[in-house]
Amino acid sequence: MSVKFETIGLVGTPGDQRVADTLRTLAKHLNAQGIEALFLGNASTDVPGCREVDADELADRADLVMSVGGDGTMLFATQLVATRDTPLLGINRGRLGFLADISPNDELTGNIDAILSGEYISETRGMLVARLHGKKSAGTYALNDVVVQRAGETRLIDVETHVNGVYLNTHGSDGLIVATPTGSTAYALSCGGPILEPSLNAFVVVPICPHTLSDRPIVIDGDSKIEVRLKDRKGVSGQISCDGRAIAGLQPGDVLHIEAAPFGATLLHPNNYDYFRILRSKLAWGHSSRRTR
């Protein structure tokens, strides 16, 4: 069932000329259809036709959020609205664009009009919640991944991992990634992790540059509860980040709990959306690396 979008939030960085041009096009097009356009931040001179609002107002009032930029912008937009179940639409002005799958070409306004008229695919992507318990407590959500990395040291850290209370392994490595299926094509992929189809109820646990070559990524059930600890070694500490944002340090004695969030991110796609086609395109599958003479 389609939803009527009367107020649309735009998220992007107008300092990037390509993003600014797309934001202006969107604002003008939305205004012409009587749709209120809100913009996050101080950009009245850059994006005419948009009313500037703060993060809370955009999240509270927008029926739909359009993210203009790369996947990083999309992840930021997700943090704004995921708890409110506000749908997100990604317009790619970045590099890979696994999440932002509308290109700002001559068909931009046509694709937007189709979505505004209810012609779209709605998809819910699972998210993670990370909670740190220790001398300092912290908690947040992630669409892609939760990452534990060494904090400044050049030596390895020992990351002890339990799944549903059962010991999994102590990873002597540069760190550890716990990724959703959405995040399986991000940092986890560069560390040798598998690609998970987005609808799977699963996580992937991936050590970062493990010292033991047999320490391989493992896929676990999405209802699992993961505990991560740092083994006590002199002068060693860790850093926790969620979707690329540092949230807290990890010290020996702290416990990091990771599990499925009680909600997901609602993504809208054009009707011709094809996840496997995006994989083939973004990862250049089937393209020959040989040069023709």
Render pLDDT for 80-123 as a digit per residue (tens, 0 to 9): 998 998 999 999 886 667 888 888 765 888 899 999 999 999 99
Q: Please give the residue that has the higher pLDDT: either 270 or 3.
A: 270
Please report the pLDDT score of residue 228 as a whole number: 98
Whether residue 113 lies in the annotated active site: no
| Alpha-carbon torsion angle 118, 41, 95, 25, nearest 10 | 50
Residue pair 62/71 in contact by the 8 Å Cβ criterion: no
Confidence of residue 292 (pLDDT cuts 50, 70, 90): very low
Please report the pLDDT score of residue 106 as a whole number: 56
Q: Which of 132-136, 164-168, 245-249, 284-288 has the highest mean pLDDT?
A: 164-168
Round to whole Å and give the CA distance between 202 and 183.
11
Helix (H, G, I), strand (E, B) or coil at 219: strand
Percent of the chain with pLDDT over 90: 67
Query: What pLDDT digit, counting tens, does each position of 233-263 carry?
Result: 877 889 999 999 999 999 999 999 999 999 9
Round to whole Å and give the CA distance between 31 and 18.
20
Which residue is associated with the tokens 């998970």?
Answer: 196
Determine whether domain 127-262 maps to CATH 3.30.450.190.
no
Sheet holding 245-250, edge to edge: 218-221, 202-208, 175-179, 145-150, 238-242, 245-250
Nearest to 18 by CA among 104, 119, 132, 130: 104
Confidence of residue 1 (pLDDT cuts 50, 70, 90): very low
pLDDT average, residue stretch 128-155: 89
Residue pair 54/43 in contact by the 8 Å Cβ criterion: no
Q: What is the DSSP letter of 34?
A: T
DSSP bridge pairs for 148: 176, 240
Query: What pLDDT digit, counting tens, does each position of 152-175 carry?
Result: 777 889 999 999 999 999 999 999
Confidence of residue 2 (pLDDT cuts 50, 70, 90): low
Fold adopted by 7-120+270-282: Rossmann fold (3.40.50)
pLDDT average, residue stretch 53-68: 93
Query: Which range is least confidently modeled, 17-21, 177-181, 216-220, 287-291?
Result: 287-291
What integer best gives the mean pLDDT of the chain?
89
Confidence of residue 200 (pLDDT cuts 50, 70, 90): very high
Round to whole Å and give the CA distance between 78 and 91.
14
Residue pair 215/192 in contact by the 8 Å Cβ criterion: no
Nearest to 181 by CA among 226, 208, 144, 206: 144
Contacts of 175 (CB under 8 A, 6+ apart): 147, 148, 149, 150, 157, 159, 207, 208, 238
**Residue 5 corresponds to which amino acid?**
F
Round to whole Å and give the CA distance between 159 and 112.
45
Confidence of residue 286 (pLDDT cuts 50, 70, 90): confident
Please report the pLDDT score of residue 102 as a whole number: 86
Which residue is associated with the tokens 């599958």?
Answer: 285
Confidence of residue 41 (pLDDT cuts 50, 70, 90): confident
Helix (H, G, I), strand (E, B) or coil at 108: helix
DSSP bridge pairs for 172: 158
Round to whole Å and give the CA distance between 136 and 110.
49
- Cα Dmax for the chain: 63
Q: Please give the residue that has the higher pLDDT: either 248 or 291.
A: 248
Domain residue limits, the chain: 7-120+270-282, 127-262
Catalytic residue, candidates 63, 71, 158, 215: 71
pLDDT average, residue stretch 49-62: 90
Round to whole Å and give the CA distance between 211 and 46.
49
Kind plus residue range of the DSSP H or E element containing 60: helix 55-61
